[in-house]
């Protein structure tokens, strides 16, 4: 087989680094945007915080998302280090000051305070769950070996407060990692000590042990706690499946006794470690990305100020280029430094423009959602939500569906009716008897209301819920009702039954 050469033409689409950076920034919620900006500030010395300057005329975004300074970056990318290449450096665009670039000190008046003062945002400082356990561990009188065993056990406790590792695995970790020879009996003894820590139920191996640990601490409160311990100890599976008749026959309990026992058990905490310490900044509290206010029937949309940080190019780096331009003797080392400065300034301009584009994209997308779901934002009634999918917003904004999806992901909007995820407003449609398209969110709300208003002694089955929805004019199947019920985290009728 002979070798041959041929010419081929191919049409390819390739994302620029700036487009990739914009997509990543769109996905970041407000809670993490500040951290991302801090990373960029550490990596790029040409970028600094301060009052945002007006956009330079020489830095505009093209239709394809690339900046007009891309050419400058490309010119420096192919330099081979020769003296002739360094002679072609043009820094005129970097050292020229526009009329709108007024120095900060020229606009200040010492006799009057600044109108726009920078306010310090307080941050929560908390002790983590495992740190609280280690603090309590320090109160025990343990020798060095037993303390290492206890530390290993505390480190093996998960975020819910459970110890789900086998004793043999803990013993192996102690032997191989800390050179501590401990048998399972010694480890079990330390576990019993840790189980006395706060909160009650900590270091349990399963839910049954967790609840029993909490009840044992309440033994002094009365007979009902003793009965609850017996129920969990002997009839745990029957209790979780609500087979109350078998429990009553086995322990000879009256209906009143069983009600009291159930009340004592449901007040226990199945996740003793879940409410201790801060595990995740984004999960512990919500930082809304948007605010919507209703002013006499007119909706106003604003972007969270932390989505619009004040970033600018470092004046020090601009001064370096001006000194280089004024100098007469320009050796190779100086030119290499100038190339480095140009690259950092380009990178800083790109990042600032990506932040601006992020603001614009977020606002245009949220504005389209607000107008589409205007009735809900005016009334707060979920039944007023219209069917809406990503494609609907993409058509209004002119953005790609994937871009709308990135904006809707992990973003929140604060309204006078509460704070909602943007994904909350997206739902499929369902037809009524009259042929009208309604949101599945509306159907779920009605389904939730039906379940809340049911007789808990005789809860509604999925089949009966289907009939009630069909009576209201919704064409819906039983399997769809079961799916919506599961999405609402509502158990089946048997598990909703109460005495």
Q: What CA–CA distance (Å, rounded) separates 341 from 169? A: 54
Q: Say whether both 367 and 443 belong to one domain.
A: no
Q: What CA–CA distance (Å, rounded) separates 439 from 430? A: 6
Largest Cα–Cα separation, the chain: 102
Q: Say whether both 291 and 376 belong to one domain.
A: yes
Report the relative pairing of strands 418-421 and 437-439 from DSSP bridges: unpaired
Please give the average per-residue pLDDT across 354-376, as a whole number: 89
* Residue 369 or residue 345, greater confidence: 369
Contacting residues for 392 by C-beta, under 8 A, at least 6 apart = 372
Structure tokens at 148: 């290492």
pLDDT of the residue at 292? 92
Residue 61 lies in a domain: no
Tens digits of per-residue pLDDT, 143-188?
A: 888 999 999 999 899 888 899 889 999 999 888 988 888 888 999 9
Q: What CA–CA distance (Å, rounded) separates 133 from 157? A: 10
Report the relative pairing of strands 412-415 and 290-295 from DSSP bridges: parallel
* Residue 161 or residue 436, greater confidence: 161
Q: Say whether both 405 and 445 belong to one domain.
A: no
- Chain centroid to CA 455: 38
Q: Which SS3 state, helix, strand or coil, does residue 319 take? A: helix
pLDDT of the residue at 83? 45
Tens digits of per-residue pLDDT, 69-104?
A: 443 344 444 444 444 444 555 555 555 544 444 444
pLDDT of the residue at 435? 61
Q: Say whether both 176 and 154 belong to one domain.
A: yes
Domain count, the chain: 4
- Single residue among 376, 403, 425 that ends a domain in this structure: 425
Q: Which SS3 state, helix, strand or coil, does residue 378 take? A: helix
Task: Quickly count: other Cβ atoms within 10 Å of residue 40's Cβ.
Answer: 17
Q: What CA–CA distance (Å, rounded) separates 332 from 465? A: 81
Q: Say whether both 243 and 187 belong to one domain.
A: no
Q: Say whether both 297 and 186 belong to one domain.
A: no
**In sequence order, what are the beta bridge partners of 474?**
432
Q: What CA–CA distance (Å, rounded) separates 16 from 65? A: 8
* Residue 276 or residue 466, greater confidence: 466
Please give the average per-residue pLDDT across 352-376, as a whole number: 89
Q: Which helix (H) or strand (E) holds 311?
A: strand 311-313
Is 60 exceeded by the pLDDT of residue 13? yes
Return the sign of the alpha-carbon dihedral for residues 129, 131, 134, 138. negative
pLDDT of the residue at 44? 82
Is 70 exceeded by the pLDDT of residue 455? yes
Q: Give the whole-number percent of the chain exceeding pLDDT 90.
A: 10
Q: Say whether both 243 and 366 belong to one domain.
A: no
Contacting residues for 243 by C-beta, under 8 A, at least 6 apart = none
Instruction: Round the average pLDDT of the chain to a whole number and report it.
Output: 77
pLDDT of the residue at 99? 41
pLDDT of the residue at 18? 65
Q: Say whether both 158 and 264 belong to one domain.
A: no
Determine the structural domain holding residue 406 and report its residue range. Answer: 285-304+359-425
Q: What CA–CA distance (Å, rounded) separates 304 from 414? A: 10
């Amino acid at each position: 087989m002979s070798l041959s050469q041929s010419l081929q033409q191919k049409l390819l689409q390739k994302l620029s680094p700036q487009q990739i950076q914009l997509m990543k920034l769109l996905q970041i919620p407000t809670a993490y945007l500040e951290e991302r900006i801090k990373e960029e500030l550490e990596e790029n010395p040409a970028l600094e915080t301060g009052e945002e300057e007006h956009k330079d005329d020489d830095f505009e975004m093209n239709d394809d998302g690339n900046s007009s300074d891309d050419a400058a970056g490309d010119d420096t990318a192919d330099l081979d280090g020769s003296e002739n290449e360094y002679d072609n450096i043009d820094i005129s665009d970097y050292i020229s000051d526009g009329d709108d670039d007024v120095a900060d000190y020229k606009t200040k008046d010492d006799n009057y305070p600044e109108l726009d003062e920078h306010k310090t945002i307080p941050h929560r400082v908390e002790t983590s769950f495992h740190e609280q356990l280690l603090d309590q561990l320090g109160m025990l009188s343990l020798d060095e070996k037993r303390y290492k065993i206890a530390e290993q056990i505390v480190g093996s406790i998960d975020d819910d407060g459970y110890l789900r590792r086998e004793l043999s695995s803990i013993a192996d970790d102690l032997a191989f990692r800390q050179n501590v020879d401990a048998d399972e009996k010694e480890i079990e003894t330390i576990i019993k000590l840790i189980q006395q820590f706060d909160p009650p139920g900590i270091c349990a191996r399963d839910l049954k042990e967790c609840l029993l640990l909490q009840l044992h601490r309440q033994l002094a409160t009365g007979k009902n706690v003793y009965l609850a311990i017996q129920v969990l100890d002997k009839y745990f599976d029957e209790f979780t499946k609500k087979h109350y008749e078998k429990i009553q026959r086995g322990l000879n309990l009256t209906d009143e006794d069983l009600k009291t026992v159930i009340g004592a058990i449901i007040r226990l905490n199945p996740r003793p470690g879940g409410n201790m310490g801060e595990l995740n900044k984004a999960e512990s509290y919500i930082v809304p990305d948007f605010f919507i206010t209703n002013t006499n029937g007119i909706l106003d949309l604003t972007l969270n100020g932390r989505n619009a940080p004040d970033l600018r190019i470092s004046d020090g780096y601009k001064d370096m280029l001006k000194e280089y331009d004024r100098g007469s003797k320009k050796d190779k080392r100086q030119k290499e430094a100038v190339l480095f400065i140009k690259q950092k300034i380009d990178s800083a301009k790109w990042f600032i423009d990506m932040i601006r584009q992020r603001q614009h994209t977020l606002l245009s997308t949220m504005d389209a959602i607000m107008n589409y779901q205007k009735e809900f934002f005016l009334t707060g009634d979920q039944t007023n939500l219209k069917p809406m999918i990503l494609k609907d917003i993409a058509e209004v904004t002119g953005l790609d569906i994937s871009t709308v999806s990135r904006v809707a992901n992990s973003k929140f909007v604060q309204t006078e009716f509460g704070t909602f995820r943007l994904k909350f407003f997206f739902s499929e449609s369902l037809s009524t008897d009259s042929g009208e398209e309604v949101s599945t969110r509306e159907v779920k709300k009605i389904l939730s209301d039906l379940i809340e208003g049911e007789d808990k002694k005789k809860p509604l089955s999925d089949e009966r819920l289907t009939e009630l929805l069909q009576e209201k004019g919704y064409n819906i199947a039983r399997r769809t009702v079961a799916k919506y019920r599961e999405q609402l985290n509502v158990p089946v009728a048997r598990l909703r039954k109460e005495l």
